[in-house]
Structure 1
Amino acid sequence: MNDPAADAETILRTPRERARAQTIADIVRLGRGHLATHGAAALSLRAVARDLGVVSSAVYRYVANRDELLTLLLVDAYSELGDAVDAAVNALPERDFDGRFKALGRAVRTWALREPARYGLLFGSPVPGYQAPSVQTTPPGTRVIYRLIGILDGAYRAGALTVTTARTAVIPSALSADLEAIRSELGLAMPEELQANGALVWTSLFGAVSFEVFGQYGADTFRARDELFEHHLTVLAGMAGLVPDRNPRDALKSAATPV
């Protein structure tokens, strides 16, 4: 089915604008390949220009330098990961909070294993000499964590996640101030104990994915990697305070505000 908004945007673009957008898309595509082959630190606009079949000075009209190429690749990867997570989460009933959390985790892992170099650019070692511009990278870079927060806060609002269902620890006063600022900024309902648990769930999820992507388990330690990750998801869901949905049909009928 055609998207009228996208069609209108295409019509409004001049041939020059369309050509420019296509060239930048080609540069990003080739940059992905160089990232996978040579790593982020070795990215070279000259090499990309060579593969594009143009002189390097022509590429500089579209991408000013290596740092700008890295930024384009970051935004591209964050956006693709966010799209994958949204598709997986949206495929489940709105009130299946446990299922949506696990779908989010599986989507992150699947994308990371398919795109290890791009995952490494996002969550691996910083590229020497490069500082990501927050204005461009923060919105796409926070999509997954905001989706995770939305699932947990939605579960709390629905009574499906409470302090009594999650293991909690005393929150230090300095941390309490940080959590209050986050709760105010994002309009969250869940209390600070569950926010702090959510932060641990977030870092643990990506830690588990990173261990697998970067080969930290070793070659022979765990052969049943899928089963190990599913175990991690179950434990993390319990840590957050989520419980498996016992009646998906009722959840579908009573679905209210989307997470």
Structure 2
Amino acid sequence: MTGTPRARARQQTMADILRIGREHLATHGAAALSLRAVARDLGVVSSAVYRYVASRDELLTLLVVDGYTELADTVDEALADVAADAHTEQFRVLGHAVRAWALREPARYALLFGSPVPGYHAPAERTTGPGTRVVVRLVRILGDAHVAGTLRIPTTVAVPDTLTADLGRIRAELGTGIPDAVLARGVLVWAALFGAVNFEVFGQYGTDTFTDPGQLFDHHLAVLAETVGLS
């Protein structure tokens, strides 16, 4: 922590509020988050907490940004040691990093990708940047593979002309040059990757269906890599 003693004290208090918020999220769920309960565990009166966090929704937003940031940092750290031209391996590592974080932090993952919290609407201006870091990294992998000439652009199913404008806008927002065929399949891969993680985190496969979910996930990643044209 840096800055004046007062600034450091504020930073520490905010860190404590987030820590307690994460604990309450895991214990009680997002819908039951309460600033009064956070204040109680922090050992202060509730009015003191309101000087740092204005409302329950503000606390939820802080936890959402915190979760997205930690997930993306986990992915970036996992990819740091992967060769720049090993695009398929990068995709595999990214997928496993997402799964590992989700299984380690199921309550925080649920806040990000589970059922919406009743009455709460995440402010896009604060959550979109952190929330898209992983998909931007995925698109970068596909873009690098395309530039390197190692991406087999799929042509078996044509992209409808009606999607051209939407895909063009997405391409501009992401700053990528990958063609529609790859970008459209990239959206499918993104949805399927998190769908597979959701099924495991939320127990949708059932308790006795797969004895080794990790092997199933490996297979899914290999199929998704093939789908998007990674060799």
Considering only aligned residues, what root-mean-square deviation do their CA atoms show, in Å? 1.1
TM-score (norm 1): 0.87
Q: Which residue among 179, 195, 199 is the counterpart of 2:183?
A: 195
| Residues 82-121 of structure 1: pairs in structure 2 closer than 5 A | 82-121=72-111
Relative to structure 1, is the Cα distance of residues 18 and 168 closer, same or farther in structure 2, using a 3 angstrom cutoff? farther
- Which amino acid is 2:59 matched to? L
Relative to structure 1, is the Cα distance of residues 212 and 219 closer, same or farther in structure 2, using a 3 angstrom cutoff? same
Q: 2: distance between equivalents of 1:168 and 1:114?
A: 38
Q: 1: distance between equivalents of 2:74 and 2:156?
A: 31
Q: 1: distance between equivalents of 2:172 and 2:129?
A: 18
| Residues 35-50 of structure 1: pairs in structure 2 closer than 5 A | 35-50=25-40
Structure 1 residues 213-234: Cα deviation after superposition (integer angstroms, max 9, x where no partner): 0000001011111110000010
Task: Tell me which residue corresponds to 1:170.
Answer: 158
1:78: how far off?
A: 0.5
Q: Structure 2: 5+ residue runs without aligned partners?
A: none
| Secondary structure of the corresponding residue to residue 117 of structure 1 | helix
1:174: how far off?
A: 2.2
Runs of 4+ that moved beyond 4 A = none
Structure 1 residues 50-94: Cα deviation after superposition (integer angstroms, max 9, x where no partner): 000001011000001100000010011101000000011121000
- Equivalent residue pairs, number: 231
| Residues 35-74 of structure 1: pairs in structure 2 closer than 5 A | 35-74=25-64
Q: Which residue among 213, 217, 224 is the counterpart of 1:236?
A: 224
Answering whether residue 161 of structure 2 is matched by residue 158 of structure 1, we say: no
TM-score (norm 2): 0.97
Answering whether residue 128 of structure 2 is matched by residue 126 of structure 1, we say: no
Task: Tell me which residue corresponds to 2:65.
Answer: 75
Q: 1: distance between equivalents of 2:201 and 2:74?
A: 17
Q: Which residue among 178, 187, 210 is the counterpart of 1:222?
A: 210
1:16: how far off?
A: 1.1
* Structure of larger gyration radius: 1
| Secondary structure of the corresponding residue to residue 162 of structure 1 | coil
Q: 2: distance between equivalents of 1:100 and 1:167?
A: 23
Greater RCO (Cα-Cα under 8 Å, separation 6 or more):
1
Structure 2 contact 64–127 (Cα < 8 Å) conserved: yes
- Which amino acid is 2:167 matched to? L
1:185: how far off?
A: 3.0
Answering whether residue 137 of structure 2 is matched by residue 147 of structure 1, we say: yes
